[in-house]
Each structure stands twice: as C-alpha cells, then as structure tokens.
Amino acid sequence: MPRITKEDKARNRQNIIEAAGRMFRSQGIDAVGIAELMKGAGLTHGGFYNHFASKDDLVVEVCGASFAASLGSMARTVEGGPDQGGSPLQRVVAGYLSTAHRDASDGGCPSASLVTDAGRHGEAVQSVYAEGVQGYLTGFTAEFLREAEDEGYELDPDEARHKAVRLLSEMVGAMVLARAVRHVEPELSDEILRTGRDHALD
C-alpha cells in the first residue's frame, strides 16, 4: 500500500473541512454524521481521526475558516472604496442580503447559517463564532468612522460600535428569516431581503 505524502494528507484534510463547511451550513452540524461527512469528502470513514481528534474539533476549524473567508471578502470590498455600486458598506449589505446568498444554503457567511448551531454547542464552538462576529463588528465600526471622517463630521467610537451591532443584527436576522420562508412564501422572502437592503443603513 503506497504511503500517503504530506501533501496528500494536507489535501485530504482540506477536503474534509470544505465538505463539512457545505454540509454543516445546509443540514446543520448535528444532522451530519462522520461517515456521511467523509463520504462527502471522498474519503473513508476510518480516516477521519487521522486529521481531527473529534467532530467538535472539526466544527471549530470549519467555523473559523468560514468566518475567515467571509471577513476576507468584506475586507476586499471595503478596500475597494466607493464605486458605482455605492459605498463599501452598501455593497457589503447588498451582497449579504442578496437572493444568491440566501439560496446558497451550503455556502455563504456562517453568521446566519450556523447561528443556531453555535448557540447549541460548547464553549469552543461559541468562542470561534464570537470571534467571527467580533471581526464583523470591528470592520463595520472602522468603516462607519471612516465614512464620518470623509464626510467631515465626528462620530463617537461608541456610537459607531452601536451602529455596527445594529447593522450586523439586522443583516443576520433578515437572512435567517428570508431563508426560513423562501420555499413557502418566496415573495415574502424577497420582501425581507429587499427591505433589509434598502434600510439597513438608515
């Protein structure tokens, strides 16, 4: 039997993380068993413990990697500055509260797709979820302060933080609601997203 290389092991580990990310988002963490997960990654059940000590360890890794990808996307949007699509925050809101994000049940930001799961799991999972939330709040706060400076007025940092908390809460809440009703009340789902896009930054 050929010996697995370090590169192969790293690739297999990444395949597990990516498969878990898709399945956890679309089905929920508790609904996905290790055997099903490894099949989705194209690997055998027994190989799981060569990469992770437990399913909880994998959940922590997946949550952290998912937030890192989402926060990286947000950072790139912000760095692009204003354009024809509006201010950076307007573009972040538009992308987050889009029908494409809503319909990507196995992708997108974990802030909405894993919100219930995070609350049901232990401190390790909740901690990495909280770190991701803090990342969004830090980014939003900094952007509110930058916008205020560009527009020539002074915004208190505490007020900027409050605006950031409200914005993230409204975005996540709107996405959770829109996904919950999209199959039975598609027009209501669209209305929730549209209203969020139009008024989240009021």
2 has pLDDT over 60: no
Q: What is the mean pLDDT of residues 28-42?
A: 94
Domains contained in the chain, CATH given = 54-199 (1.10.357.10)
166 has pLDDT over 50: yes
For residue 108, the Cα-to-chain-centroid distance in whole angstroms is 6
75 has pLDDT over 80: yes
Share of the chain above pLDDT 90, in %: 87
Residue 79's Cβ-side half-sphere holds a number of Cα atoms within 13 Å equal to 6
How far apart, in whole angstroms, are the C-alpha atoms of residue 160 and residue 142?
Answer: 8
Q: What is the mean pLDDT of residues 127-133?
A: 97
Question: Burial level of 111, CB count in 10 A (0-12/13-18/19+)?
Answer: buried
